[in-house]
């Protein structure tokens, strides 16, 4: 007998081309999870979430969605195996969010870690921004998802979802599984300046950057600030160039770290950057080719996103029927 596959929901905001940090922190893991064949996979490009902080400039939203879809597929998410879709194409997310908004006490949202801090630093005070963790809950439970791959920092959000599920069940009876976290161990990838890689800091290397841009970025990377001369001892474990090489350079010499730390003059930062550059260009060569093909053929991308949305809608509409029935709504099947 075949065991029923667990439902897995993952997603990201379409905020532009994906960078190496997004790949190491999320996408690589999603592809691996997909390839285990253990899960029924839904991956949501959460465009409504992008509006919580980006409502003033929406012109870039559509191109960013296409870029994200192209990045996903080029990196190995297979639209046959993972339903890749755009959140706003599945209206059930919005309906469930609205219904959940009736039962959630606002203090639950106000106490979400990072809410106050982010609201203040970004100057955001909208209703949508306060409610975004609840929209996230709706995104997950509308698929009756069993598991959600998250980093540790996302655990409080998932805990909120589990509390909302329990409250719903207490009021109306059981409909949803309580989603479990699949905690991903990943390293926070430094950017080209040594700080956390992020779109916001402009210190990223995008997966789809053409070789000339990768070259500019790599050759101007920070290395070890204390290693001025070749013979100065380096600290490879803190050097972004070395860290990237451990991930992307299949030919990384086993003794490089030792040589760097001991100030062996046979190795130096410029040579190290050149080796990284060529490794990175090779590593993402197929990715870039596939991405270009996809972005040149929007009809194909549209077809993938539509088929993903069809599968998502089917599951979400079954859930909403159960939700409306449980809540004694008018004509639950519609």
Q: Which residue, 199 or 274, is less far from ligand ADP as judged by CB?
A: 199
Q: How far is the CB of 245 from ligand ADP (least distance, A)?
A: 16
Report if residue 194 touches ligand ADP, rule: CB under 6 A.
no
Stretch of 190-198, 248-256, 291-299, 313-321 contacting ligand ADP, by CB under 6 A = 190-198
Residue 188 within binding range of ligand ADP, rule CB under 6 A: yes
Question: Whole-number minimum distance, CB 49 to ligand ADP, in Å?
Answer: 10
CA distances from 326 to 105, 160, 322 (A): 20, 21, 6
**Helix residue ranges, H only, the chain:** 20-22, 28-36, 47-54, 61-74, 92-103, 106-110, 115-122, 127-141, 155-172, 211-219, 240-248, 256-261, 269-283, 285-295, 298-326
Alpha-carbon distance 170 to 165, whole Å?
9
Indicate whether 142 belongs to the interface with ligand ADP (CB under 6 A): no
Restricting to residues 9-28, which ones interact with ligand ADP according to CB under 6 A? Answer: 12-13, 15, 21-22, 24-26
Q: Is 197 in the site for ligand ADP (CB under 6 A)?
A: yes
| 76 belongs to the binding site for ligand ADP (CB under 6 A) | no
Contacts of 293 (CB under 8 A, 6+ apart): none
Tell me if residue 149 falls in helix, strand or coil: strand
Smallest gap from residue 48 Cβ to ligand ADP (A): 15
Query: Among residues 151, 156, 177, 332, which is the contact residue for ligand ADP, using CB under 6 A?
Result: 151
Q: Pick from 189, 206, 269, 279: which binds ligand ADP (CB under 6 A)?
A: 189
The answer for residues whose C-beta is within 8 angstroms of residue 205's C-beta and 6 or more apart is 19, 20, 192, 197, 214, 217, 218, 280
Q: Which residues bind ligand ADP (CB under 6 A)?
A: 12-13, 15, 21-22, 24-26, 151, 186, 188-189, 196-200
């Amino acid at each position: 007998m075949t065991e029923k596959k667990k439902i897995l929901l993952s997603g990201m905001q379409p905020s532009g081309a994906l960078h190496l940090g997004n790949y190491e922190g999320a996408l690589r893991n999603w592809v691996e999870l997909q390839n285990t064949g253990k899960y029924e996979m839904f991956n949501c490009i959460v465009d409504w979430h992008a509006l919580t902080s980006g409502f003033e400039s929406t012109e870039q939203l559509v191109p960013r969605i296409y870029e994200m879809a192209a990045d996903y597929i080029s990196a190995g998410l297979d639209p046959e195996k993972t339903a890749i879709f755009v959140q706003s194409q599945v209206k059930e997310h919005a309906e469930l969010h609205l219904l959940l908004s009736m039962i959630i006490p606002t203090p639950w949202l106000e106490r979400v870690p990072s809410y106050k801090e982010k609201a203040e630093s970004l100057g955001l005070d909208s209703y949508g921004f306060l409610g975004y963790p609840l929209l996230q809950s709706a995104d997950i439970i509308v698929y009756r998802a069993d598991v959600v791959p998250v980093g540790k920092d996302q655990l409080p959000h998932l805990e909120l979802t589990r509390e909302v599920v329990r409250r719903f069940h207490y009021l109306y009876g059981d409909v949803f599984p309580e989603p479990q976290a699949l905690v991903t161990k990943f390293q926070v990838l430094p950017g080209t300046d040594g700080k956390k890689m992020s779109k916001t800091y402009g210190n990223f290397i995008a997966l789809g950057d053409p070789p000339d841009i990768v070259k500019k970025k790599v050759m101007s990377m920070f290395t070890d600030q204390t290693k001025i001369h070749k013979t100065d001892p380096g600290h490879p474990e803190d050097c972004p160039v070395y860290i990237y090489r451990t991930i992307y350079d299949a030919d990384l010499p086993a003794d490089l770290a030792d040589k760097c730390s001991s100030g062996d003059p046979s190795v130096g930062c410029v040579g190290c950057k050149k080796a990284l550059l060529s490794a990175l260009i090779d590593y993402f060569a197929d990715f870039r080719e596939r991405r270009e093909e996809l972005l040149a053929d929007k009809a194909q991308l549209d077809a993938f996103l539509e088929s993903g949305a069809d599968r998502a809608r089917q599951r979400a509409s079954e859930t909403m029927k159960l939700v409306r029935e449980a809540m004694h709504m008018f004509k639950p099947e519609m």
